[in-house]
Amino acid sequence: MAETHLQATAPDRGFLTPREDYSGLFSWIFSTDHKRIGLLYFWSIVTFFLTGVTLGLLIRLELFLPGKTIVEAQTYNAMFTLHGVIMIFLFIIPGIPAAFGNLVLPIQIGAKDVAFPRLNLLSWWLYAIGAAMALGSLFSGGGAPDTGWTFYVPFSVQTTTNVSLAAFAVFILGFSSILTGLNFITTIHRMRAPGMSWGRLPLFIWSLYATAWVQVLATPILGITLALVLVERLLGTGLFDPTRGGDPIMFQHLFWIYSHPAVYIMVLPGMGVISDIIPVFARKPAFGYKAIAVSSIAIAAAGSLVWGHHMFTSGMSDMAVLVFSLLTFVVAIPSAVKVFNWVATLYKGSISLDPPLLFALSFILLFAIGGLTGLVLGAPATDVHVHDTHFVVGHFHYTMFGGTGMAFFAAMHYWLPKIYGRMYNKRIATIAWGLIFVGFNVLYLSMKVVGMQGMPRRYYDYIPEFTRLNQLATVGSWILGIGVFLMFFNLIRGTFRGQPVGDNPWGGATLEWTTSSPPPTENFEVDPVVTHGPYDFKAAGIL
């Protein structure tokens, strides 16, 4: 970094100022400052995201025409497996909590740091080690894993590719996730500034709190499931092998007991970001603060009971199918509560269409589409028809990418000016948003339609009838890809060269906007005392 040049234009670089204790890179990878750790997470997560996007673009390129287009079938299998593993375990699960949670959680509750700063650093190290192992599985052992990110048995036990290392990598990443969750729960309980009652917590904090509980309670199950796949492969214990009395369906139960709640680890923090952004850009207090806060907890709780909807076609009793289907529909209620409250907050607000809000609005729309198509999958009768087709792939990209991904982008545009003290070019940000939004819908809507017509997922080849829609999807992926790269180009340029912004460029009323940009190492020059709610713009003197 061109430190000297930057200091000339921005006098106070806060926590970004080079440290005496360690030099250069080491002052980052050994730092226990939650903001530095947050940035470490942020930039590593962005790197993996871009890797994953590149793989996604290659997958789409291969599907441009039936038959072989650019790679062989085995390479294709490895590509979608790695794409899934990266996007799920390296991007979407740690994305908002580990990067933005670490960056703003302590500041928003008026604390100097998280409860366990060294544990926090350990979490990042575990993340880095896990990520290195996941990538290492590509180039070692019997070659890149080809099981898909779900590691379903019996194939994951039989394949000669390097599943063992990949599964172990995910185990380590899970550990990192648990430690982050544990740290956040303790921090929220113990470190709130005077006056920061539970009723005054920003909604982002509420969502992180609910997420953290899911992280702590669900992730161990994933740990044991993957550990079992490992011992199956290494020792042949046969716990999932029918010829030895085991049952592969038990793997699916254990896997989804974690992985469905994990969907909420992915999406709840995104909802929290949106809940924080909307009031600021509508210049109105959040409508139904309590309902939004409580619905986070309700989603976390109800969402832990619905895993069976992934297994309607795996052979369950009719009763079980009925119960899981019912419960799945129930989760839609608290999610809808949130959407209604966001819309009500926007209603009659004085709206400024800045980039953070644009991404927040696309979150609401795309997540709603994803959620509604989720109901198609939650109903057993329709699920049987579209199970394991591109319809499913379209659905989860709408929720995960259209939901959490957009929230991640919104958070970047909302908080990075705070963290770096500089603003990106808003016009370019808006153009990038437009490209992303259009490309996204062209890509995934086509995938939903072709899935509805019967194109299976995880297939290298397809019948000629599907060609048209696949080509449309691939063209959409190009528009989307250009938008994504333009967005990051603009952000990175902004963090180095952008106009300096004051403490509160958006006019927010939460605590992070009361400290300088970038914040000082200890977050506040004077320890804050909280006297009003997070969206009380009048009391904050903004309106």
Partner 1 sequence: MSEVHKDYAGAKFGMWLFLFTELLLFGGLFILYGVYLHRYPEEFVKAGGELNVVFGAVNTLVLLTSSLAVAMSITALQKGNRRLTLVLLAVTIASALIFLVNKYFEWSAKIHHGLYPDSPHLKELAPGESVFFGLYYVTTGLHGLHVVIGGALLAWVFVQVRSGRVHAEDFVALENSGLYWHLVDLIWIFIFPLYYLIL
Residue with tokens 């100022």: 17
Residue 283 in contact with ligand HEM, rule: CB under 6 A: no
Residue 500's φ and ψ, nearest 5 degrees, are: -60, 140
Residue 536's φ and ψ, nearest 5 degrees, are: -90, 80
Q: Which amino acid is at 333?
A: I
Residue with tokens 């010829």: 243
Residue 92 in contact with ligand HEM, rule: CB under 6 A: yes
Give the nearer residue to ligand HEM in terms of CB position, either 148 or 220.
148
Cβ-in-10-Å burial (0-12, 13-18, 19+) of 13 comes to middle
Give the nearer residue to partner 1 in terms of CB position, either 117 or 507.
117
Give the nearer residue to partner 1 in terms of CB position, either 65 or 250.
250
Which stretch, 75-83, 127-135, 423-431, 490-498, contacts ligand HEM (CB under 6 A)? Answer: 75-83
Q: Cβ(176)–Cβ(265) under 8 Å?
A: no
Q: Pick the closest to residue 109 from 189, 183, 193 (CA basis).
A: 193
Name the binder of 224 from partner 1, ligand HEM, Cu ion, none, CB < 5-8 A by kind: partner 1
Radius of gyration of the chain (CA): 23
Q: Please tell me the distance from the alpha carbon of residue 468 to that of residue 342, in angstroms, as a whole number.
A: 38
Q: Please tell me the distance from the alpha carbon of residue 88 to that of residue 46, in angstroms, as a whole number.
A: 13
Per the DSSP assignment, residues forming a β-bridge with 287 are none
Give the nearer residue to partner 1 in terms of CB position, either 154 or 238.
238
Contact string 443-482 vs ligand HEM (x = CB under 6 A): --------------xxx-----------------x--xx-
Among 80, 251, 312, 513, binds ligand HEM (CB under 6 A): 80
Q: Please tell me the distance from the alpha carbon of residue 216 to that of residue 228, in angstroms, as a whole number.
A: 20
Name the binder of 480 from ligand HEM, Cu ion, partner 1, none, CB < 5-8 A by kind: ligand HEM
Name the binder of 53 from ligand HEM, partner 1, Cu ion, none, CB < 5-8 A by kind: ligand HEM
The rounded Cα 159 to chain-centroid distance in angstroms is: 29
Among 15, 42, 149, 281, binds ligand HEM (CB under 6 A): 149
Q: Pick the closest to residue 112 from 525, 510, 411, 418 (CA basis).
A: 525
Name the binder of 527 from Cu ion, partner 1, ligand HEM, none, CB < 5-8 A by kind: none
Which stretch, 255-263, 343-351, 382-390, 484-492, contacts Cu ion (CB under 5 A)? Answer: 255-263
The helix/strand/coil state of 248 is: helix
Name the binder of 5 from ligand HEM, partner 1, Cu ion, none, CB < 5-8 A by kind: none
Per CB under 6 A, residues contacting ligand HEM are 53, 56-57, 59-60, 80-81, 83-84, 87-88, 91-92, 148-149, 393, 397, 400-401, 405, 457-459, 477, 480-481
